[in-house]
A = this chain, B = another copy of it.
Amino acid sequence: MAVYTDFSDEELQQFIRGYDLGAVQSLKGIAEGVENSNYLLATEAGQFILTLYEKRVDPDDLPFFLGLMDHLAARGINCPTPVHDRQGQALGRLANRPAAIVTFLAGIWVRRPRVQHCAAVGRALAGMHRAADGFALTRRNALSVDGWRPLYEACGGRADEVQAGLGNEIESELAFLEANWPDDLPAGVIHADLFPDNVFFLGDELSGLIDFYFACNDMLAYDAAVCLNAWCFESDGSLNVTKARALLSGYAAVRPFTDAEIRALPMLARGAALRFLLTRLYDWLSVPDGALVVPKDPAEFYRKLRFHRSVTDAGAYGLDL
């Protein structure tokens, strides 16, 4: 659930005067982005998103995130582009928090993705991977294999509160993935969270990618495995292989997979499912009783994990081997 930091008119006016954007015409808190406070800001210069970075974001990571958006936008990727202030800075300060203004992106996110949306996402993901090549900064993926066990331990052995036997399953999966996780696949900057709410469409045309606040350096094919989990399962928990094929072939049309990546895909998909299972489990167990905010269901990714465990090769995802 988004946080809404409030600030005075004077603070806002003073902040905006630092930019070449004219006078403020409208400011509305928007219900997007879990980690930060986001506002739709209209000024004489147009529409923008104003983001205040709340405590879940490490300020030291902000130059990576903002620099990446600058880098991608300069290479033709449709993504929010940081607006630089009169001193040339993308990162400012408002209400005692790091703050940035980025360009507004038209489009709406698709609640029920269809095959053509999956194909478009695959192409866009590969395009982003290619465009990110040459970006100078790096950021470790804190939510990759090394981070999963600490995250599980932070759940304090309470996994079975969600589903009986879940704790044992997670422990055996952790042991397996720690022993078998690949480390020699092509790597680069990945989005790491390209779920449907982070992809905008105008009609059936993909109009942009947003929310780069999990972006990091990791194996590129892992990012495709995240998308496979995020876009290609039906609400009954089954994989839609037509969507999976569309997503992966869309990706491969822009950046062909190596043979090693194709072989690793079932393992990467297991890891991606476990990563979202663990963060959702942690959030689920952390929400106080009676809270009005309902966290997302961890069991959804447990079902996906079990599916990937049954997979022997990437043919199950519709990839021609």
Within 8 A of B (CB), among A220-254: none
Residue with the greatest number of chain B CB neighbours at <10 A, chosen from A6, A31, A107, A110: A31
Chain B: CB-nearest residue to A10: B112
Is the beta-carbon distance between B106 and A6 smaller than 8 angstroms?
A: no
Q: Give Cα A65–Cα B59 distance, bound, in whole angstroms.
A: 45
Cβ-defined contact, A25 with B289, below 8 A = no
Please give the count of copies of this chain that the complex contains: 2
* CB pair A30 B27 closer than 8 Å: no
Q: Which of A1-51 contact B (CB under 8 A)?
A: 1-2, 4, 6-10, 12, 23-32, 40, 42
- A291 within 8 Å of B (CB atoms): yes
Interface of chain A residues 111 through 133 with chain B (CB within 8 A): 111-112
**Distance between A26 CB and nearest chain B CB, rounded to angstroms:** 5
Is A8 touching B293 in the complex (CB atoms < 8 A)?
no
Contact flags A87-116 to B (C-beta < 8 A → 1, else 0):
000000000000000001011101110000
In the complex, A202 has a CB within 8 A of chain B: yes
- Answer yes or no: A203 CB below 8 A from chain B CBs: yes
Q: How many residues of A contact B (CB 8 A)?
A: 37
Say whether A23 contacts B111, CB under 8 Å: no
Contact among B7, B23, B42 with A203 in the assembled complex (CB-CB below 8 Å)? B23
Asked if A288 is at the interface of the complex by the 8 Å CB criterion, the answer is yes
Q: Which of B12, B40, B110 contacts A9 (CB 8 A)?
A: B110
Is A290 part of the binding interface, using a Cβ–Cβ cutoff of 8 Å? yes
| Cβ B28 vs Cβ A29 within 8 A | no
- Does A292 have its Cβ within 8 Å of any Cβ on chain B? yes
Given contacts A108-B26, A202-B25, A293-B292, contact A31 B2 (CB under 8 A): yes
* Cβ of A194 to closest chain B Cβ, rounded Å: 18
Task: Give Cα distance in the complex from A42 to B40, angstroms.
Answer: 12
Which chain B residues lie closer than 8 Å to A26 at the CB level? Answer: 104, 106-108
The one of B6, B29, B289, B291 in contact with A30, judged by C-beta atoms closer than 8 angstroms, is: B29
Whether A32 pairs with B28 at a CB distance below 8 angstroms is yes
Q: B residues within 8 A CB of A30?
A: 28-31, 40
> A291 is contacted by which of B10, B111, B288 (Cβ under 8 Å)?
B288
CB pair A31 B28 closer than 8 Å:
yes
Set B4, B108, B292: member contacting A24, Cβ < 8 A: B108
Bound Cα distance from A235 to B107, whole angstroms: 41
Contacts of A108 in B (CB 8 A): 9, 12, 24-27
Give the docked Cα–Cα distance between A108 and B29 (Å): 11
Residues of B within 8 A of A1 (CB): 292
CA distance A107 to B24 in the complex (A): 8
A162 smallest CB distance to B (angstroms): 19
Bound state CA distance, A131 and B32, in angstroms? Answer: 38
- Interchain Cβ contacts under 8 Å between A and B, 5 examples: A26-B107, A29-B30, A40-B40, A290-B291, A292-B293
Q: Which 3 A-B pairs rank lowest in CB-CB distance, beginning with the nearest? A: A288-B290, A29-B31, A28-B30
Contact residues of A with B, CB < 8 Å? 1-2, 4, 6-10, 12, 23-32, 40, 42, 104, 106-108, 110-112, 202-203, 287-293
